[in-house]
């Protein structure tokens, strides 16, 4: 049984979704919302964290949870592992994006003891989950397929979609966006032929083929727009589309999960690096 848990990031619903599957948690979310996670877990004591990547909105609570649960095991891609053990570089990078809002947004980021971590490279099976390397959003992003149910847990690899709407946005913040690698990762996910896609932002998608198609289109469209338009136009167009496709409260959830100015910055950087 999978349980999607809305951790109510900054008190807002439909921003960050953690998943619990028989004591396994996929992406616990940030430390700032860890009390809600623990509260909603109820009597369940988590034994394993499967991290899709180390960004603070997905994995920020890892250190705090390791302290609270002394037997908790953590799985993460090998490139991400050192930054859980010593989060200083991760915090510096996030600080450039979030500035003075760091503490309010993400809370306490504790280092993770090395002996709790199992580093992944993709291709292995752990705790009943197949692991695939799915870069594009981050160079160390992995996705998980629960073999018993066919449910996939894909972090940010399959985009941002806030129910009840199908409208999909590609989360493209700096500094590691790679559009080609991301399109390959979407192919990798499609080849799993999963029953559902568990998005961090937000919830499980059952129309898998349609969703992956929408995500591919969103990624290509956003990339093209960032290449040819300026930041102001990029943001205005995205907001127009969001308001047209959803409702004002949902736009708030979208913009908290994936701030449009950051989506522009990540793609602008991608094109600049590519030209160099
Ligand atoms: Zn995210």
d(CA 163, CA 185): 23
Question: What is the CA(7)–ligand 1 centre distance, in A?
Answer: 13
Phi/psi of residue 17, each to 5°? -115, 120
The bridge status of strand 151-155 relative to strand 196-199 is parallel
Per the CB < 8 A criterion, the answer to whether 16 and 37 are in contact is: no
What is the whole-number distance in angstroms between the Cα of residue 175 and the centre of ligand 1? 13
Per-residue confidence (pLDDT) for residue 62, from 0 to 100:
98
> CA 23, CA 43: separation in Å to the nearest integer?
10
Q: How far apart are the first and last CA of the chain?
A: 48
* pLDDT tier for residue 30 given thresholds of 50, 70 and 90: very high
Helix or strand (DSSP H, E) at 62: helix 62-68
Query: pLDDT, tens digit, for every residue of 32-86?
Result: 999 999 999 999 999 999 999 999 999 999 999 999 999 999 999 999 999 999 9
37 neighbors 28 (Cβ within 8 angstroms) = yes
Find the helix or strand (DSSP H, E) in which 112 lies.
none
CA of 1 to the centre of ligand 1 (A): 23
Inter-residue contact 235 to 52 (CB < 8 Å): no
Whole-number Å distance, alpha carbon 200 to ligand 1 midpoint, is: 6
Distance 173 CA to ligand 1 centre (A): 9
State residue 190's pLDDT score.
98
Contacts of 69 (CB under 8 A, 6+ apart): 45, 46, 47
User: What is the reported pLDDT for 97?
Assistant: 87
Angle CA 7–114–8, to nearest 5: 5
Q: How far is the CA of 168 from the centre of ligand 1 (A)?
A: 14
Task: Report how far ligand 1's centroid is from the alpha carbon of 151 (Å).
Answer: 19
Question: Under DSSP, is residue 87 helix (H, G, I), strand (E, B) or coil?
Answer: coil
Which among 132, 113, 268 has a CA at the least distance from the CA of 187? 132
Ligand 1 centroid, distance to 53 Cα (angstroms): 9
Structure tokens of 110? 């504790």
Q: What is the pLDDT at residue 1? A: 84
**What is the phi/psi pair of residue 75, to 5°?**
-110, 135
Average pLDDT, stretch 261-269?
Answer: 97
Residues in the chain: 276
Instruction: Work out the mean pLDDT of the chain and round it to a whole number.
Output: 97
Judge whether residue 154 has pLDDT over 90: yes
Distance 55 CA to ligand 1 centre (A): 7
Distance 50 CA to ligand 1 centre (A): 15
Q: Token digits for 86?
A: 């010593």
Question: Looking at beta carbons, which pairs linking 226-234 to residues 24 or more positions away fall under 8 Å?
Answer: 226/172, 226/263, 226/264, 226/267, 226/268, 226/270, 226/271, 227/267, 227/271, 231/261, 231/264, 231/265, 231/268, 234/260, 234/263, 234/264
What pLDDT is stored for residue 56 in this prediction? Answer: 96
> What pLDDT, in 10s, does the model give residues 187-205?
999 999 999 999 999 999 9
pLDDT digits (tens, 9 = 90+) for 205-233: 999 999 999 999 999 999 999 999 999 99
pLDDT score, position 180: 97
- pLDDT tens for each residue of 79-112: 999 999 999 999 998 998 888 899 999 999 999 9
pLDDT value at residue 39: 97
How many angstroms separate the alpha carbon of residue 273 from the centre of ligand 1?
22
Pairing of strands 24-26, 48-50: parallel
Instruction: Name the pTM for this structure.
Output: 0.97
Tokens for 70? 């002394």
Distance 128 CA to ligand 1 centre (A): 24
Q: Which of 34, 3, 24 is nearest to 118 (CA)?
A: 24
């Amino acid at each position: 049984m999978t349980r999607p848990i809305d951790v109510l990031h900054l008190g807002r619903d439909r921003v960050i979704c953690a998943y619990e599957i028989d004591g396994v948690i996929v992406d616990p979310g940030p430390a700032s919302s860890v009390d809600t996670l623990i509260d909603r877990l109820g009597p369940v004591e988590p034994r394993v964290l499967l991290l899709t990547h180390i960004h603070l909105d997905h994995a920020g609570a890892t250190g705090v949870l390791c302290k609270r649960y002394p037997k908790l095991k953590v799985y993460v891609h090998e490139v991400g592992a050192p930054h859980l053990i010593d989060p200083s570089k991760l915090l510096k990078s996030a600080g450039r994006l979030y500035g003075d809002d760091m503490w309010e947004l993400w809370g306490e980021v504790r280092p993770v003891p090395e002996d709790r971590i199992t580093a992944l490279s993709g291709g292995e099976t752990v705790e009943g989950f197949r692991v695939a390397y799915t870069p594009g959003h981050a160079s160390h992003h992995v996705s998980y397929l629960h073999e018993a149910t066919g449910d996939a847990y894909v972090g940010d690899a399959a985009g941002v979609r806030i129910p009840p709407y199908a409208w999909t946005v590609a989360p493209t913040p700096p500094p590691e966006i790679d559009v080609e690698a991301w399109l390959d990762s979407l192919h990798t996910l499609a080849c799993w032929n999963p029953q559902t896609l568990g998005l961090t932002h937000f919830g499980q998608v059952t129309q898998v083929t349609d969703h992956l198609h929408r995500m591919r289109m969103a990624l290509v469209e956003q990339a093209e727009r960032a290449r040819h338009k300026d930041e102001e136009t990029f943001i205005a167009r995205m907001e127009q589309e969001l308001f047209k496709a959803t409702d004002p409260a949902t736009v708030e959830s979208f913009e908290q999960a994936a701030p449009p100015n950051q989506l522009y910055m990540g793609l602008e950087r991608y094109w600049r690096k590519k030209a160099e």
